[in-house]
A and B are shown apart, each in its own frame.
Chain A
Amino acid sequence: RKEVEQDPGPFNVPEGATVAFNCTYSNSASQSFFWYRQDCRKEPKLLMSVYSSGNEDGRFTAQLNRASQYISLLIRDSKLSDSATYLCVVGSGGSYIPTFGRGTSLIVHP
């Protein structure tokens, strides 16, 4: 079983739609959680960290559910420029190495 699992998609949504991605993780000792964004043929970049209380950054909201071991990313009012692959990343605190999910592809169309 992969440690961090994501639905690969693609999620195909119209501009203005609200879309949500989930990511499940298997290591209950995990302590840090992130969403990265990767544009086509570019490197991953941090989108936002995910805190226990949840956090919001403009149109993006990230939440953590420790009991069920998943994190979510909600994008409101989707823009064409949101089209990208979204990578879920989990760190176990004591380890140097974060674990990446394989990513969820989002396509926002006019």
Chain B
Amino acid sequence: DVKVTQSSRYLVKRTGEKVFLECVQDMDHENMFWYRQDPGLGLRLIYFSYDVKMKEKGDIPEGYSVSREKKERFSLILESASTNQTSMYLCASQWKVGRGRKEETQYFGPGTRLLVL
């Protein structure tokens, strides 16, 4: 079974703090993603990475950065946390599209609920 883990289930931070959210997958997936999920807005893509040291902005990258130094690990960084970044953060991993695999399933971690005070 694919396993995607996230460093924290719940996190409380203060405005202005630097926040690190880590995600690790054990299936040698090329693609990794960070989403946030808010009521009524669904899943919104923040950043994704298709290889080590490669990253691309998603729909809402402002206020976030990412790091992918190793294939299995994808980190999301909030440089200076703000109250509007209070949300559920979900990491996902996926095989590289076009490898001949029939499914493009994304496997999600359990999520991190971040509260910024």
Contact B42 A100 (CB under 8 A): yes
A44 at the interface (CB under 8 A from B): yes
A21 at the interface (CB under 8 A from B): no
Question: Given that A96-B50, A97-B45 are known contacts, is A44 also in contact with B108, CB under 8 Å in the complex?
Answer: yes
Contact A96 B31 (CB under 8 A): yes
Picked from B40, B97, B102, B110, the residue with its CB within 8 Å of the CB of A42 is: B110
Cα-based distance from A8 to B39 in the complex (angstroms): 11
Interface positions of B from 30 to 73, Cβ below 8 Å from A: 31, 33, 40-43, 45, 48, 50, 58
The B contact surface, by secondary structure, is loop
Interface positions of A from 35 to 70, Cβ below 8 Å from B: 42-46, 49
B106 at the interface (CB under 8 A from A): yes
Contact A46 B105 (CB under 8 A): yes
B21 at the interface (CB under 8 A from A): no
Cα-based distance from A42 to B4 in the complex (angstroms): 13
A72 at the interface (CB under 8 A from B): no
**B111 surroundings in chain A (CB, below 8 A):** 42-43
Contact B43 A100 (CB under 8 A): yes
Picked from B42, B48, B90, B102, the residue with its CB within 8 Å of the CB of A97 is: B48
Besides A49-B103, A87-B43, 17 new A-B residue pairs in contact (Cβ under 8 A), listed by A number: A34-B105, A43-B110, A44-B43, A45-B108, A46-B103, A49-B105, A87-B42, A91-B104, A94-B97, A94-B98, A96-B50, A96-B94, A96-B97, A97-B58, A98-B106, A100-B42, A101-B42
